[in-house]
Amino acid sequence: MSSTSTAFARARAEGRAALVGYLPAGFPDVEGSIAALKVMVESGCDIIEIGLPYSDPVMDGPTIQAAAQQALDAGVRTADVLRVVEAVAATGTPTLVMTYWNPVERYGVERFARDLADAGGAGLITPDLTPDFAPEWIAAADERELDKVFLVAPSSTDERIAMTTAAARGFVYATGVMGVTGTTQATAAGVAPLVARTKALSPAGGADLPVGVGVGVSTGAQAAELAVKNGIGADGVIVGSAFVRTLLNHPGDRAAGLAALAALTEELAGGVRA
């Protein structure tokens, strides 16, 4: 069982959903992102997703684009991302990297898997890599027992959900809306059918593969609405743009940004427990 699965199991045992928090590495700078992610861990995130800033992020809306661009403009490198992973994973919280595919391919798939594992990273979330085009990554991840988090969407056919969940490890990422990050709000009514289909089509009826809902989730109330107790069945709630926006809203005042980040994390952590 991976550290990610363990975190989901712990949340499930407590009768709640897990809170998964995202920030891009190197935003506002490398040290700043480590400090911010540690605040998110301390304030109630069960699992951390670290974004690898990329020049052409087709799944991201303006908020995450702006943060990634800021990180790239400041010169963040793939090696810096791994350094952030190491610092955050050292807290004991499962830490995954969310990355578009080209930077991994360029780094070398095998080399990336090795260095990610060495840094204590739990695995990868790959928004533009589906299992049918991922043989190299699947082999490298399997060798090191890294999580392979693939996405399912409301538009996915049943065949593709079955194929994706069969290939996934750690959890499967259900996109809450048809759209990019940070623009549209996901609703329980919109998400419920996808979560139900994903669970029904997962090996062992989803018992071994938690479903996290992301894209379009930003508030504690939404987290509560989507969380397991209220019948939607999401095992995890993934929040990204809202954290990024919180930091973007406090330029030049690190302390105020971190305080706001802690407050948002607590609100969301309360939501998944509601």
Partner 1 sequence: MSTYEADALGWFGGTGAFGGRFMPEALIAALDELDVAWREAMADPAFTGEFDRLLHEYAGVPSLLYDATRLSEHAGARILLKREDLNHTGAHKIRNVLGQALLTQRMGKTRVIAETGAGQHGVASATAAAYLGLDCTVYMGEVDTERQALNVARMQLLGAEVIPVTSGSRTLKDAINEAMRDWVASVDETAYLFGTAAGPHPFPSLVLSFVRGIGDEARRQCLDQYGTLPDAVAACVGGGSNAIGLFAGFVDDPEVAIYGFEAGGDGVETGRHAATIFAGSIGVLHGARTFVLQDEDGQTIESHSISAGLDYPGVGPQHSALSAAGRASYLPVTDAEAMDAMALLARTEGIIPAVESAHAVAGALRIAEERPGQTILVNLSGRGDKDMGTALEYFGLGQAGSRGQRETK
Residues that bind partner 1 (CB under 8 A): 54-59, 61-62, 65, 69, 72, 77-78, 101-107, 127-130, 132-133, 135, 150-157, 160, 164, 175, 177-180, 183-184
Distance CA 185, CA 154 (A): 14
Q: Which long-range contacts does 184-193 make (Cβ < 8 Å, 24+ apart)?
A: 184/216, 185/216, 185/217, 185/218, 185/222, 186/213, 186/215, 186/216, 186/217, 186/222, 186/226, 187/225, 188/225, 188/226, 188/230, 188/232, 190/154, 191/226, 191/232, 191/234, 192/231, 192/232, 192/233, 193/154
φ/ψ (deg, to 5) at 234: -70, 130
CB of 76 to partner 1, least distance (A): 9
CB of 269 to partner 1, least distance (A): 28
- Comparison of 95 and 198: residue with beta carbon closer to partner 1: 198
Token reading at 227? 């969380």
CB of 105 to partner 1, least distance (A): 6
Token reading at 22? 């995202």
Which residue type sits at 107? Y
- Comparison of 183 and 187: residue with beta carbon closer to partner 1: 183
Q: Identify whether 49 is a catalytic site residue.
A: yes
Say if residues 10 and 131 touch (Cβ distance below 8 Å): no
- Comparison of 8 and 54: residue with beta carbon closer to partner 1: 54
Q: Which of 49, 80, 147, 235 is catalytic?
A: 49
* 3 state DSSP class of 250: coil
- Comparison of 11 and 244: residue with beta carbon closer to partner 1: 244
Q: Identify whether 132 is a catalytic site residue.
A: no
Distance CA 86, CA 18 (A): 22
CB of 94 to partner 1, least distance (A): 22
CB of 51 to partner 1, least distance (A): 14
Which segments within 99-178 are labelled E, that is strand?
123-125, 147-149, 151-152, 172-175
Q: Which of 42, 46, 60, 128 is catalytic?
A: 60
- Comparison of 105 and 145: residue with beta carbon closer to partner 1: 105
Say if residues 138 and 167 touch (Cβ distance below 8 Å): yes
Task: Report, as residue numbers or ranges, the catalytic residues.
Answer: 49, 60
